[in-house]
Amino acid sequence: MDKFEQAGYGQEDIGFGDHPAVLIVDFQKGFTDESSVLGRSAHVQRAVDNTATLLAEAKKKEIPVASCRVSWNSRSDMAYWKISSLYDGSFYHGNHATEFDPRISDPDYVFEFTKTAPSIFFQTPIHAWLTRHQIDTTIITGCTTSGCVRASIIDSFSFGYRTIVPEDCCGDQDEGPHWDNLRDVGRRYADVVKLSDVLSHIQS
């Protein structure tokens, strides 16, 4: 038992509520297509494939799904990012990098929208959409774990949702930050589980 566990961190299970929704963060070609400098992570590819499996099962069970991408009008529309490759213009509206990955794009079923900041919640319609569907549990997937996924987990928690994170449906540029951040949010804000755990729950 480490010092966090001794202090009580991670000792409470959150669990699923009665009305879950799947949230997909930034599975867009800028992060999933190898033609992009940010899209060459095998770890992210694994996460997209697993999320596609989750999406298919969610549709069968009529569980709501929302998916966001990050995109801007111009550099003047952007915050002060420290990622130089975001400033090459490829993430401006309408460019290839802003297109949803086809493995998880289903506009006839998925609520798809654009954000401009890390969290799926910041100045977006997602909270109103979740409220309209009477959602009490968010199942958060996407990339990158240490960036926009983490920000979305914290905001989900802050808005009062039960927050579930299937680890193998999230990806990062490197596995180290992925695990470090999931370990941290799992101590505080969310249940970190496997895709198989989520599938078992929604299929039951």
The amino acid occupying position 154 is I
Residue 4 included in any domain: no
Give the model confidence (pLDDT) of 106-132 as tens digits. 999 999 999 999 999 999 999 999 999
Mean pLDDT (whole number) for 135-146: 98
Q: What is the CATH number of the domain that holds 101?
A: 3.40.50.850
Residue 3 included in any domain: no
Stated pTM of the model: 0.97
The tally of domains found in the chain comes to: 1
CA distances from 117 to 14, 72, 80, 190 (A): 27, 10, 10, 21
- pLDDT above 90 (res 75): yes
Residues of the domain holding 114: 18-203
- Nearest CA to 189 among 166, 168, 160? 160
The label of the residue with tokens 């951040």 reads 181
- pLDDT above 90 (res 1): no
Residue 132 included in any domain: yes
Tell me what pLDDT residue 47 has: 98
Residue 45 included in any domain: yes
User: How sure is the predictor about 139, in pLDDT bands with cuts at 50, 70 and 90?
Assistant: very high
Residue 10 included in any domain: no
Residue 146 included in any domain: yes
